[in-house]
Structure 1
Amino acid sequence: MSEAKAVFESMLARFDADEADDMEAVFQFDLDDDSNYHLSINEGKCAMAEGEHDDPTVTLSMDLDTLKDVMSGELDGMAAFMQGKIRADGDIMLATKLTQIFPQ
């Protein structure tokens, strides 16, 4: 299993359906140094798939280390964005909810 896939598997394991209650969204992750993945949230469920989604709600571009640091809580997502470590396209406000939907 790729390192990126392992990160997304761990995110799925801690998905908080209550936080994502009325959410219908697709988070596209474009990783500079690994495969691209997307997480689809709909009706309180989350599904992961490899590759590009046709119509993501928000696209987040970063390297794998940045993703790991943000999802482990070592790096604040907003700080990473401000430092240029994360590039976002689409519904950027949705991206700020990522750590609430996938809490530590």
Structure 2
Amino acid sequence: MSETVNQAVTILNEKLAGADIGGTAKFDIEGEGSVMMDDSGARAADEPADVTLTADSETFQSILSGDTNPTSAFMTGKLKVDGDMGLAMKLASILA
């Protein structure tokens, strides 16, 4: 796993603590790897998910740091969403 994925798992576990996302989500970080998220937290893995969010490493790190709003990233084409849009919106509110 890349350092970006390892850092993402740590940050996402902090943000997801106690959150009920009600499904499975995957962040696909282009050129780095994938992070799976569900009600038990985040882990480095690449598995089928209810929603897949795809972005380059720079956009992903900017979303995690709070510098980029996930909805804005989606609207400008920097973040692609495939699957359950409701779950994607729920994740956006948790990450914002």
- How high is the TM-score relative to the length of structure 1? 0.77
Indicate yes or no: 2:61 matched with 1:60. no
Residue 83 of structure 2, aligned match among 82, 90, 95: 90
Moved more, 82-91 or 62-71: 62-71
Distance 2:36 2:16 in 1: 14
Ranges in structure 1 where 5+ consecutive residues have no aligned partner: none
- Name the structure 2 match of 1:27: 25
Q: Give the C-alpha shift of residue 99 in structure 1.
A: 4.2
Tell me the C-alpha RMSD between the 2 structures. 1.9
After superposition, residues 65-80 of structure 1 pair within 5 angstroms as 65-80=58-73
Give aligned-pair identity as a percent: 23
Amino acid at match of 2:10: E
* Structure 2 match to 1:49: 43
User: Please, what TM-score do these two structures have when normalized by structure 2?
Assistant: 0.82
Question: 1:70 Cα deviation (Å)?
Answer: 1.1
Q: 1:51 to 1:15 in 2, by over 3 A?
A: closer
Find the counterpart in structure 1 of residue 16 from structure 2: 15
Which one-letter code corresponds to 2:73 in the other structure? A
Residue in structure 2 matching 1:100, options 83, 93, 96: 93
* Larger-Rg structure: 1
Give the letter for the 1:51 counterpart: A
- Distance in 1 separating the partners of 2:57 and 2:69: 15
CA–CA separation in structure 2 for the residues paired with 1:13 and 1:74: 17
Equivalent position amino acid for 1:90 in 2: G
Aligned mates of 2:80, 2:60 — CA distance in 1: 12
Instruction: Please give the alpha-carbon distance, in whole angstroms, between the structure 1 residues aligned to 2:93 and 2:24.
Output: 15
